[in-house]
Amino acid sequence: MCYPAYSVLLCVSNTEKLEWLSVALDSMINQTVKPAEIVLVEDCSLTDNQNALINQYKEKYPNLFKTLSVPCQMGLGNALKQGFSACTNGFVACMDAESYSAPTRIEESFDTMFEKKVDLVGSNVNVFADSIDNVVTHRKYPETPERIYKFAKKNAPINLASVLLKKRMVQVCGIYENCYLAEDFALFISLLRMNAKGYNIQKPLVYERYNNTLYKQNCGWEHFKAMVEFNQLFYKTGWFTYRDYVRRTIRNGVESFMSPVVKKCFANTLFMGGKIKCSDDDCMKANSSQGVIRVAVLGTRGIPNVQGGIETHCQHLFPRLAKMGFDVTLYARECFVKKDSPYEYDGVHVVPLKCNHRACFETISHMFHCYCKIRKSNPDIVHIHAIGPALFAPLIRLTGAKVVYTHHGQDYNRAKWGRFAKFVLKMGERLGTRFSHRIIVISNYIEEFLKHTYKTHRTILIRNGVEIRTDIPANECSTLKYFGIKPKKYILACGRFVKEKGFHDLLAAYSMLPENLRNEYKLVIAGRPDHKSSYSQEIVKLAEDMGVVLTGFICGDTLCAVQRNARLFVIPSYHEGLPIALLEALSYNLDVVASDIPANTEIPLPHECFAKVGDVNDLAQCIAAHLQNNVQENFANIIHEYYDWDKIAERTAGVYKELVSGSNPACEHPMQSVNSNLQDECLQTAN
């Protein structure tokens, strides 16, 4: 194909390093469609070495380079104006002195321009550090003319260093010379106001160099003043609505007066990944090119054999999804999996990340590290578990991934949280519901609550599951002997030592049982505290004084042996989502007593299996009645019908496929037309 002649426009200042400038120039010279000319707009303060390098290129390519000297510190707007005027061809490709263009950038841009019949073409951008192979983050831009137009109401919709445009469009609309720090945004607004059509190629054709001094940019009163003037200018022209104007001004103010130290920490962690290192990101990217749906799992402490309902849920669900062909990466918490390097569990890539060990900061610190990894690995689906981690749903939407959020229960009802923590958890629930593409709920109660409270219609009911084991653990006899218990001669409870599990009620109720029952049936509690607290210490001391058997955290065959030989399973919780421990007890056909909270009563059990929550007398009477008169039912049928993990995995896979294919528009977020194009706003120069 014959391509038209074009000019390359590149502005050079004295801050450019020689090797960076050389890489930028070589990348344009070596395009598959060669430039007719390269126009260098030179700041008069260039160093001698920079001038010498440019002269070397002019000598090597005598008919290619055209240089234009401009006054010092005149601004990008004036430089662009004079640079476009100096270009002699009808098409102009902009370039940055710290960037690299892929060899086919111009060829693909021309092909797209002619095919789509548009006036300017850009592309997505990779940000690299040290070498082009070391990509640290990806910047995605809106694709179609319609989406570009909508996104330009908020931010620059095309990367200036990636754009190829028609010179006559710039001549018609002109360039705003005095839009300090937002010249590129002003240029694109001007073009769009003249009905120019843009298009962004949805792959990176330009690589921008990561700049360690990024955090120093856009600071102080001068920056804020310039942004206010910019916002006012385009508010008066009618481009920004009043809402756009206020929103941008507030955001610019926060950015302008943020501490440089905070900016530095944020920038280093966000773009460089901090100290997080994981080769599984490369695995994710490789699978992307093979058409495999890549799933990142956030919010869980880890697998396998980590205490907690969410952890058990993930341990059963995601290996099944991996076997169904999904590429699953689960981000774990290093302190719980006791490993500091990635490993694989049953087809799932597990990546341990650091987190703060304090209960109030554990989730937030872990999720921030997860977000940094998500930005680098670019998965198709990000699956968030629980309302606390869902606080990051809006940020994860910015990465371009489809967000699935599983609501496991109203954690803010837990007694251990203070007022502020409960506020944060409720905010996580709100943001997760508002910004997720699809919300998975594990019970009818949670589904009705979300629909009533947040008016959402994007929920789907997929319950927790449980596996029915028919085999007898090889270590069953030795396990029971080790704990000093006999088959069918003990009452079992499982869970973490936190107040909402109701173990204080269970101990009180056990002490109220008739002496003959206490002599015949021991009480066994399987579990441990996640974090030391006065409550957990009190429970341990009281249990030891009463002769209760405390097994600690057990799993696998040991847990199976203890569960299947219990006479009665008791769950006196004040708060649950859908208790997997109760489902496991039912899978062994154990007689059960449960508190009458909505999460428990939703399971189709006989009325006599429920005790009033918080009522110790009722709990004691119910336990005594079951020990004296066993309720014999085939509870395993309930598990087969409602709580089968294979069916749960199939339904979850269906959610993923619908979102990736876009075949179910009903599940889209009401702001999808805007949010699907959200970019990394903190990287844009127009902020």
Domain harbouring 84, CATH code: 3.90.550.10
Q: What is the pLDDT of residues 152-182, one digit of tens each?
A: 988 899 999 999 999 998 887 776 656 777 8
Question: What pLDDT digit, counting tens, does each position of 237-272 carry?
Answer: 889 888 888 888 888 887 777 655 555 545 444 433
- Within this chain, do residues 34 and 133 fall inside the same structural domain, yes or no? yes
Q: How many helices (H) and strands (E) does the chain have?
A: 28, 23
pLDDT tens-digit map of 293-342: 999 999 999 999 888 889 989 999 999 999 999 999 999 998 888 888 89
- Is residue 406 situated within a structural domain? yes
Give the model's pLDDT for residue 676.
Answer: 35
User: In terms of domains, do 260 and 287 share one?
Assistant: no
- Residue 274: per-residue pLDDT: 37
Inter-helix orientation angle 503-511/534-546, to 10° = 20
Q: Which residues contact 354 (CB under 8 A, 6 or more apart)?
A: 275, 276, 334, 365, 366, 369
Instruction: Pinpoint the alpha helices (H) of 218-279.
Output: 220-236, 242-256, 260-272
What pLDDT is attached to residue 290?
47
* The total number of structural domains that make up the chain: 4
Cα-based torsion angle of the residue sequence 670, 673, 679, 682 in order, rounded to the nearest 10 degrees: -50
- Locate tokens 């994860």: which residue? 396
Instruction: Specify whether 428 is located in the same domain as 324.
Output: yes
Q: Model confidence at 604, in pLDDT bands (50, 70, 90)?
A: confident
Asked if pLDDT for residue 529 goes beyond 90, the answer is no
Q: What is the pLDDT of residue 269?
A: 44
For the beta sheet containing 438-441, the strands, ordered from the edge strand earlier in sequence to the opposite edge, are 343-345, 348-353, 327-333, 294-298, 381-385, 402-407, 438-441, 459-461
User: Residue 83 gets which letter from DSSP?
Assistant: H
Q: pLDDT, tens digit, for every residue of 467-482?
A: 777 788 888 999 999 9
Q: Are residues 549 and 404 in the same domain?
A: no
| Residue 150 within a domain | yes
Select from 237, 256, 272 the last residue of a domain: 272
Establish whether the linkage from the previous residue to 379 is cis, with ω within 30° of 0.
no
Give pLDDT tens digits for 624-658: 999 988 666 677 777 777 788 898 999 999 999 98
| pLDDT tens-digit readout, 366-425 | 999 999 888 888 899 999 999 999 999 999 988 888 999 999 988 887 766 788 888 999
Residues 74 and 169 in one domain: yes
**Pair 202, 219 in one domain:** no
In a domain, 390, yes or no: yes
Statement: residue 433 has pLDDT above 50: yes
- Whole-angstrom Cα distance, residue 37 to residue 92? 10
Q: Kindly list the distances between the CA atom of residue 270 and the CA atoms of 308, 450, 513, 556, in Å, as whole numbers in the listed order.
A: 30, 32, 57, 38
Rg (CA), the chain: 31
Please indicate, yes or no, if residue 603 is contained in any of the structural domains.
yes
Give 218's pLDDT tier (boundaries 50, 70, 90): low
CA nearest neighbour of 569 among 521, 520, 534: 521
428 pLDDT more than 70: yes
Q: Which pLDDT value is given to residue 546?
A: 92
pLDDT tens digits, one per residue of 99-116: 999 999 999 999 999 999
In a domain, residue 582? The reply is yes
Judge whether residue 183 has pLDDT over 90: no
Q: What is the pLDDT of residue 347?
A: 93
Task: Indicate whether 662 belongs to any domain.
Answer: no
Quick one: 385 and 507 in the same domain? no
Residue range 60-76: average pLDDT? 81
In terms of domains, do 261 and 332 share one?
A: no
Q: Which amino acid would we find at residue 232?
A: Q
At CA 616, angle to CA 612 and CA 620, rounded to 5?
90
**How does pLDDT run across 22-55, given as a tens digit for each residue?**
999 999 999 999 999 999 998 767 888 888 999 9
Cβ atoms of 123 and 165 within 8 Å: the answer is: no
256 and 153 inside one domain: no
* Average pLDDT of the segment spanning 72-82: 73
Does 158 lie in the same domain as 83? yes
pLDDT at 212 over 80: no
Cα dist from 596 to 78, 179, 422, whole Å: 72, 64, 23
Asked, for residue 652, whether it belongs to a domain, the answer is no
Q: What is the DSSP string of 40-54?
A: EEEETT--HHHHHHH
667 falls within a domain: no
pLDDT bracket for residue 483 (50, 70, 90): very high
Could you tell me where the DSSP H helices lie in 87-182? 105-116, 145-151, 167-173
Please indicate, yes or no, whether residues 47 and 128 belong to a single structural domain of this protein: yes
- Let me know whether 206 and 244 are in one domain: no
The 10s digit of each residue's pLDDT in 268-284 is: 444 333 333 334 454 45
Distance, first Cα to last Cα, the chain: 40
Contacts for 266 with CB less than 8 Å, ≥ 6 apart: 215
- Report the CATH number at residue 387: 3.40.50.2000
Burial class, 279, CB count within 10 angstroms (exposed 0-12 / middle 13-18 / buried 19+): exposed
How high is the mean pLDDT of the chain? 84
Q: In sequence order, which ranges of 257-331 are alpha helices (DSSP H)?
A: 260-272, 280-289, 309-323
Look at residue 617 in the predicted model and tell me its pLDDT: 94
Domain that holds residue 622: 476-641
Instruction: Among 244, 272, 300, identify where a domain stops.
Output: 272
